[in-house]
Amino acid sequence: MGERRLGVIMNGVTGRMGMNQHLVRSILAIRAQGGTVLADGTRIMPDPILVGRNAEKLALLAKQHGVARFTTDLDRALADPADALYFDAATTNLRKPNLAKAIAAGKHIYCEKPTAETLDDALALYRLARDAGVKHGVVQDKLFLPGLVKLKRLIDGGFFGRILSVKGDFGYWVFPGDDETAQRPSWNYREAEGGGIILDMLCHWRYVLDGLFGAVESVSCLGANFITERWDESGKPYRADSDDAAFATFQIAGGIVAQINASWATRVRRDDLVTFQVDGTQGSAVAGLTRCWTQKRAETPRPVWNPDERRNTDFLAQWREVPDDQVYDNSTRTRRSAGTSSPAHAACSSPSWGCRAGRSGAGSTCPRWRGEMRRGGATAIGGSSCPDLIRASTPSGAADRDVDARVKPGNDESGLRYHPRGRVRRPSTTGRL
């Protein structure tokens, strides 16, 4: 059916996530594979224009990766009708005005999380996109990490029996920048610039909980600001006033309790930079970024508490690793290995929107997957339960995606339910979602 160009305005690609995750591992990976083929045979080829504030960095990035177009003039890029899609990975405090301009220009939207710094601003953006009739999506990429894909297969296969609890542990030591270069940008630690681990990371773990285990019904969170002085990219000290650690407890539908610790002031002694342990009546599993281990009920050892004796048991050796049977060929796409079938996708027959049980339509009520997009990892602005999810929300194309948009009863247009005491705030609060 031929090839169709998709012009993508990519704002914020000189930053770490915009460059690595979205430009190199997604858009450029899709281009290198010859585009994305739709069901009718049409090949979609993304054509990015790089946007940022530093012309020198943009020019270098474009040259390194063979991208023909770049600009520091966002308004000019938005005015070009040849580019239909706007992607935003700029700093959080700039996202609301950038997205509002893009929506006003009639561009379809795909953006990094969080959409905004406050609930009111996020809902205002959702309403703008809805009223403008543009397609819109927010990244949910962590659902498609190989380790969590394996965990989802275990859940769908009934491995756990009744799921009891989830323990998530994320983080690593981010150097302050005085003697070792910091691994993260300085704005991450300035509250005025949208920094803070609560705003940056807990939205990831929220959609992971929603997508894998069920609707979050309540949350309590304590934020901490442990490292109060850091050094910026030019070597100058600054006051780091945003939270760099968070300790949260979630109650999930069905009686599941989840605890998630996130910290940029910790040192790693676990299997990966993030791990999720799921305990059920019939077995347990621990998943990291790419790997997953299980222990069945019948294989569970019988530990005995005796603090008077040194433990010589190799507890890690008592777990089995889940095998790789998918090919993860870029950050937007996975393929099943030859000779295997996917129980998570086999029942879905809808050619566009549809849930994993085969129901179609944006209001489907699949009991497992909520607000999930199999390619690209996006959900509509306003929350994973938004009833107005629209096909092709991400630049990776719309060939064979499945989406469940479960509408939850609530008090706003997105279907989300909020307790009168409000959302998670710094440094700590308890409230219902």
Domain stop point among 266, 296, 323: 323
Kindly state whether residues 163 and 189 are assigned to the same domain.
yes
> pTM of the predicted model, to two decimals?
0.73
Count CB neighbours of 411 within 10 A.
Answer: 11
Q: Is the pLDDT of residue 396 over 70?
A: no
Please tell me the least confidently modeled range out of 272-286, 301-315, 372-386, 396-410. Answer: 396-410
Q: How confident is the model at residue 15 (pLDDT cuts 50, 70, 90)?
A: confident
Q: Is the pLDDT of residue 71 over 90?
A: yes
- Position 55 in a domain: yes
Kindly state whether residues 88 and 169 are assigned to the same domain.
no
Domain stop point among 259, 292, 323: 323
- Position 368 in a domain: no
Kindly state whether residues 156 and 124 are assigned to the same domain.
no
- Position 413 in a domain: no
Kindly state whether residues 312 and 199 are assigned to the same domain.
yes
Kindly state whether residues 151 and 280 are assigned to the same domain.
yes
Q: Is the pLDDT of residue 417 over 70?
A: no
Given this model, what pLDDT does residue 325 score? 75
Kindly state whether residues 234 and 269 are assigned to the same domain.
yes
CATH number at residue 206: 3.30.360.10
Residue 346 burial (10 A CB sphere; 0-12, 13-18, 19+): exposed
Helices (H), 54-156: 55-65, 74-78, 92-104, 119-132, 146-156
Kindly state whether residues 77 and 181 are assigned to the same domain.
no
Structural tokens at position 258 = 């989840």
Kindly state whether residues 217 and 171 are assigned to the same domain.
yes
Kindly state whether residues 108 and 150 are assigned to the same domain.
no
Q: Is the pLDDT of residue 261 over 50?
A: yes
- Beta-bridged to residue 275, according to DSSP, are 169
Given this model, what pLDDT does residue 91 score? 86
Given this model, what pLDDT does residue 409 score? 32
Kindly state whether residues 149 and 128 are assigned to the same domain.
no
pLDDT digits (tens, 9 = 90+) for 89-140: 998 889 999 999 999 999 999 999 999 989 899 999 999 999 999 999 999 9
Kindly state whether residues 55 and 199 are assigned to the same domain.
no
Containing domain of residue 61, as a range?
3-134
Residues with Cβ within 8 Å of 432's Cβ and at least 6 positions away in sequence, in order, are 217, 218, 219, 417, 418, 419, 421
The C-alpha atoms of residue 122 and residue 136 are separated, in whole angstroms, by 13
Kindly state whether residues 163 and 292 are assigned to the same domain.
yes
| Number of domains making up the chain | 2
pLDDT digits (tens, 9 = 90+) for 216-252: 999 999 999 999 999 999 999 999 999 999 999 999 9
Average pLDDT over residues 140-153: 94
Domain stop point among 323, 347, 374: 323
Residue 217 burial (10 A CB sphere; 0-12, 13-18, 19+): middle
Average of per-residue pLDDT values in the chain? 80
The C-alpha atoms of residue 327 and residue 21 are separated, in whole angstroms, by 18
Q: Is the pLDDT of residue 158 over 70?
A: yes
